[in-house]
Amino acid sequence: MLASLASFFRLVRALVTLARHDAILPAEYQSVYPASARMLGRVTRLFARRGGADNPGERLARALESLGPSYVKFGQILATRGDVVGERFARGLARLQDKMPPFGDTEARKVLAEEFGAPAGELFAELGPPVAAASIAQVHKARTADGRDVAVKILRPDVERRIARDIRTLSLGASLAERFAPASRRLEPRKFVDTVSRSLMVETDLRLEAAAASELSEAAAVAEGYRIPAVDWSRSSKRVLTTQWIDAIPLSDIERVAESDLDRPALATRLTRAFLATALDRGVFHADMHAGNLFAGEDGTVWAVDFGIMGRIGRAERRFLALILHGFLTRDYMAAARAHFAAGYVPQHHSVEDFASALRAVGEPIFGKRADEVPMSRVLLQLFEITDLFDMRLRPELVMLQKTMVQCEGVARQLDPKHDMWGAAAPVVERWMKRELGPEGRIRDLGEDLQRLHDAVRQLPRAIDDWAEVGAMLKAGELKLGGSPRIRPWALRIAWLAAAAAAGAFAAQALF
């Protein structure tokens, strides 16, 4: 009870904080609000501070910084979508990506000593000041005794407790939304918060991030020009992660990228294909691809860092996703619609033909268009309206994929305003479909079917014993089926023989 009450007051505090920064309904957008929102905006601005930043995005960034790391993650996503929230607004939010205030050197060295039982001087020949600070950790450049330059990531003090507190508050907010705003239930607010919460809790254990970096490094082999820094396992722990140092340009520094000799359109294409290749081919992907976590080497290689949030997608979901993307790429909207229905994304009582027509209404206006010719905010609004019309509910298992796709395209558009995500995706999707739906995929399907059959056959003797025991109990009168006719022993024997015969025939057909 006390915990719920505390979460409620923190939720109220969050709303007050946003109001004080004029970040709920910013005055700059007053003219586009409906009458009711304009009135609400005037009321909330009565609590706003005087002399705040001129940029509404910067005001929101400052509010989110004061609220905690979980809120900052939301702002990082918005910062990549200048085409949706406006370029000026996105620039104001950019500070959330890697420019947050760092914590002191004394605290950093204290964490190192606690984690490894030795002072920082014994771990590193040199430990420099923080070079980047984000919501959960900050990074120092250091040098080992053997002369290697490394990046040392150290968790912020007390960040685990703050995230746990944020999660309780967000969970309460999601529950209140589902109760008092029935329209929000389709978006599954509580499941969404649960999904994000799990990823945030994992992000506070850097041993898991080290494992994720190692796993993604193997997956990155399928993508051309995509690399992951190597992990220094001997200098990594629960609150410290040490990796190879990367001399590259952060993609959050658009000015440096523009001044370099990098091929920005090629870089945007490489980024899009790297994300899709690892997701489709290996079922694992970097799920926090904001510009602050991405770097470009002199040779155009894309480097990714910060693996606290990893996304995974099962083979069945990958197949449905590829079929949907392929349908859009080939303008076969009926095939894309059938994939939605087969995956269970659209309830069966709707018409496949009607849904295919709705997809056509989304796809045709943007097909073949450059990114700078597509008003993405309008496309997202149209997609939201379609999901509402066809009772599509948020799929928690795809939350990370959808979020990362939005982030990835946003960064690609920053690199190249004319970026064609469909064109960049086409080779990856087509290659994956040829492999999955061709002979190689069929052989893999057969192997998985045989494994399931093997598992089922191993369970068969136990099931037969259970049936025999139930039959003996019924025959002896020790077990009665209330309200149902008496089952004769001969009926049980027939049922048992039929089940055994069916299982044997299935096994023989599959194996021979």
- Which residues are marked as active site? 288
Give the neighbor-by-neighbor strand order of the sheet with 226-227: 226-227, 302-304, 294-296, 249-250
CA distance 38 to 47: 15
Beta strands in 15-61 (DSSP E): none
- CA geometry: angle 238, 241, 247, nearest 5 deg: 170
CA distance 136 to 467: 55
Residue type, 143: R
- Is 394 in contact with 185 (CB distance < 8 Å)? no
Packed helices 399-415 and 421-437: angle between N→C axes, nearest 10 degrees: 140
Rounded alpha-carbon distances, angstroms, from residue 33 to 39, 260, 437: 9, 41, 49
Structure-token pair, residue 285: 């992907």
Cβ neighbours, 10 Å, residue 2: 6
End-to-end CA distance of the chain: 62
Residue type, 80: T
- Is 170 in contact with 47 (CB distance < 8 Å)? no
Residue with tokens 């918005």: 78
CA-based R_g, the chain, Å: 27
Instruction: Name residue 153's beta-bridge partners.
Output: 139, 241
Which residues have a Cβ under 8 Å from the Cβ of 39 and sit 6 or more positions away? Answer: none
CA distance 254 to 91: 11
CA distance 57 to 60: 5
Torsion angle of C-alpha atoms 67, 77, 128, 209, degrees rounded to 10: 100
Structure-token pair, residue 494: 């027939």
Which residues have a Cβ under 8 Å from the Cβ of 163 and sit 6 or more positions away? Answer: 68, 69, 70, 136, 200, 201, 203, 204
CA distance 270 to 293: 15
10 Å CB burial of residue 508 (0-12, 13-18, 19+) is: exposed
Residue with tokens 């005087």: 50
Instruction: Name residue 139's beta-bridge partners.
Output: 132, 153
